[in-house]
Amino acid sequence: MRVRTWTGLVGAVVTAGVLVGAGALPWVAALDAAWRVVQDHQGPLSTTTVAEVTEQPLSGVTRVLAADGSLITDFYDRDRVPVTADQIAPVMGTALVDVEDARFYSHGGVDPIGTLRALVADVSSGGAAQGGSTLTQQLVKQTLLQDATTTAGQEAATADTVARKITEARLALAVDAQLTKSQILTRYLNTVYFGHGAYGVQAAAQTYFSVDASGLSTLQAATLAGLVQNPSADDPIDHPDAAQARRDVVLQRMHGQGDLSDADLAADTAAPVTTAPGPDLPQGCAQAVVGGFFCDYARQYLTGTLGLTDQQLDQGGLTIRTTLDPTVQRSGDAAVVKTVAADSPLAAVYDVVQPGTGHVLGMSVNRTFGCNGDDCTSVDLPTAAARGSGSTYKLFTAAYALQHGYTASFTQTTSSPYTSTVYKENGGTRGAPYVVENASTHYPETLDLADALVMSSNTFFVGLEDHLGSVEGPVREAQQLGLASLTDDQAQQMVDGEQGSFTLGPIGTSPLDLTDSYATVFSGGTQCDPTPVTAVTGPDGAPVTGPDGAVLDTGDHCTADALPAPVANTLAQVMRGDVQSDIGTAGRARIPGYDVAGKTGTAQHNYSIAFVGSTPQYTAGVMVFNPDEDVDVGGYGGDKGARIWHDAMAPVLEQTPSTSFPPADRSVLGVPDGGDCPFTEGDLTLVC
């Protein structure tokens, strides 16, 4: 390792004959003494501080990509994309060295000639030490300034004091001893601020000229090299005349150093400064190109489930590949505002999950994520358990019953209103009995389970709970299928309180979790946790590891047979009737030529409406509610909910081959083996 001392630099200056005359030598002696005093006071250099400059990875832009590789947004504190030496046009380094530090390749990190000349001039005049900084010293200063997290740290990095300059010089010597000139120059070009929000030469090349750093021309390189001293005043976009004057200074220096011919100098200085500004990088989820709510959900997943830090996301230069399908997302975005206007107090939420993987394909809301003036929406409405989802919970009661001795043919007669023989109005085992009625008078009193689910009979399902004798089975079934917003505490309260209203969905429900639980049924019984991320890689392309050193787990998390396949497939066939038969409640969701199954829900007092529909490839849930207060939202799940689902899914299915749900199981349906399947719902014959 090369060791350089301030005394050695003084000797070099004297030897060079720069400081001549008896009057200069006392200043040299005084400065050498000052160096020793400050060095003794400061003590040894911190290896941590040196490592900040030589080893610490430079912060970079994290790219968040959709499933097709298109950009969703970028996460970053600073717009910087570190590049290697061979990704920077050689003329860029030449221009910078010629104008900022012509002796860069011959000095040892501190230029004794320039530094002592500046120190002598400034100290003799009574001012603070100014000027004379090498590129290595500038790199030290820029690094300490950009790494400072407090005002005091920033002030210390830029203080106009001899002590600060000497510390900077000491660090520069240490840096030069550890890195090659090429490494120092490359790190400088990746670190320095070029103005207009661009840190580093790659960001600057894109910001001002829409080219990569490797493609910079002489004129462009000279313009950028001229920016580092005063990036605001010499900004070629905002101040082209000042930029041209500064650029020409750089070109003159390049000519003076023999790096630009007479002819090129004449031609280049005659040319005006021209820019081709690149687009601003989106920053964060509020500026997402697509899927702002999905973006926020993915970020929470990255920090919460996967354990990354905000610093890693904003500075790590990662590449995050997500499950978002831009076609699904944009179609949902258009559908929600078509039915519920963007300025409505009602929130229309639409989530899409892929059955069998849990991949979240889209999250649409009739709002813009972030702030629009004083109107801010930062709550992730697609995941928040804000309101109940009504009769969608009947699925959980049906799924449990079909696994415990009941079939889809199970028939009972329930009047409307119906008085429960088990459950009480306020829960528990005492008090007035629980009385429930249907939404209208068109419900037959006698129904089988399949038709009751399709027609959404309240009285039938409370009667079914009476037969079961407890709500515990349906409650645990909901959790088993993936309704994570039903917490263990809530579940236990429903069970302990014998809340017969459970099957009517009064509990605050996450739209995403509701959709995911239905996807379990439509996948054939495989429950998968919702996931928005499929890969996280670092700047080098390698998978990112967590605190434990293991590669982040971005795989699917699925449980096979969470619902037995015969039951799942039978329920899917039954729920086709809700959309495709004349007795169903969701006919508005019908898309000719495609198998669509689903279930509607309307919460008490119409405080929210819901519809979850599915094809074999896509399960999508809709909820409409007022997130700020309990109000009648108007309509019902088969109206706004089904219309949003139809309008969002129809354009997607036009690009998707039609497939069918697996046949129902005869034993689960409760029909005899052999012959044609006689099971019908209204005018629809089920496949079995």
Report, as an integer, the average pLDDT of 551-574.
Answer: 97
Report, as an integer, the average pLDDT of 569-591.
Answer: 97
Q: How confident is the model at residue 375 (pLDDT cuts 50, 70, 90)?
A: low
**Residue 169, pLDDT score:** 85
Beta bridge partners of 448: 411
Express each pLDDT in 148-183 by its tens digit: 667 766 656 566 666 767 788 888 898 999 999 999
What global pTM score does this model have?
0.88
Cβ atoms of 240 and 233 closer than 8 Å: no
**Residue 12, pLDDT score:** 40
**Residue 491, pLDDT score:** 97
**Would the pLDDT of 121 be above 50?**
yes
**Would the pLDDT of 126 be above 90?**
no
**What is the rounded average pLDDT for all residues in the chain?**
89
Express each pLDDT in 252-310 by its tens digit: 999 999 999 999 999 999 999 999 999 999 999 999 999 999 999 999 999 999 999 99
**Residue 8, pLDDT score:** 42
**Would the pLDDT of 674 be above 80?**
no
Express each pLDDT in 328-345 by its tens digit: 999 999 999 999 999 999
3-class secondary structure, 439: coil
**CA–CA distances in Å: residue 623 to residues 98, 103, 643:** 64, 68, 12
Express each pLDDT in 62-111 by its tens digit: 999 999 999 999 999 999 999 999 999 999 999 999 999 999 999 998 98
Q: CA angle, 377 as apex, 372 and 379 as ends, to 5°?
A: 165
Place of tokens 């790590």: 316
Measured N-to-C along each axis, helices 458-468 and 394-402 cross at an angle, to the nearest 10 degrees, of: 40
One-letter amino acid of 75:
F
**Residue 48, pLDDT score:** 61
Q: How far apart are the first and last CA of the chain?
A: 80
The torsion defined by the Cα of 38, 39, 45 and 49, in degrees rounded to 10, comes to 20
Report which of residues 439 and 53 the model is more confident about: 439
What SS3 string covers 351-400?
A: EEECCCCCEEEEEEECCCCEEECCEEECCCCCCCCCECCHHHHHHHHHHH
The torsion defined by the Cα of 480, 482, 483 and 487, in degrees rounded to 10, comes to 70
**Residue 149, pLDDT score:** 64
**Residue 374, pLDDT score:** 60
The C-alpha atoms of residue 199 and residue 191 are separated, in whole angstroms, by 6
Burial class (CB in 10 A: 0-12, 13-18, 19+), 624: buried
**Residue 54, pLDDT score:** 79
Report which of residues 19 and 466 the model is more confident about: 466
Cβ atoms of 321 and 534 closer than 8 Å: yes
Express each pLDDT in 183-241 by its tens digit: 999 999 999 999 999 999 999 999 999 999 999 999 999 999 999 999 999 999 999 99
Q: How many CB atoms neighbour CB 549 within 10 A?
A: 6
**CA–CA distances in Å: residue 212 to residues 47, 64, 222, 281, 578:** 34, 20, 15, 15, 56
Of 63, 79, 80, residue with least CA distance to 313 = 63
DSSP code string of 121-176? HHHHTT--------HHHHHHHHHHHHH--SHHHHHHHH--SHHHHHHHHHHHHHHH
Of 141-150, 163-172, 637-646, highest mean pLDDT? 637-646
Express each pLDDT in 224-235 by its tens digit: 999 999 999 999
Per the omega criterion (within 30 degrees of 0), is the bond before 417 cis? yes
Write out the H or E segment, with its range, that includes residue 632: none
Q: How many CB atoms neighbour CB 503 within 10 A?
A: 27
3-class secondary structure, 180: coil
3-class secondary structure, 251: helix
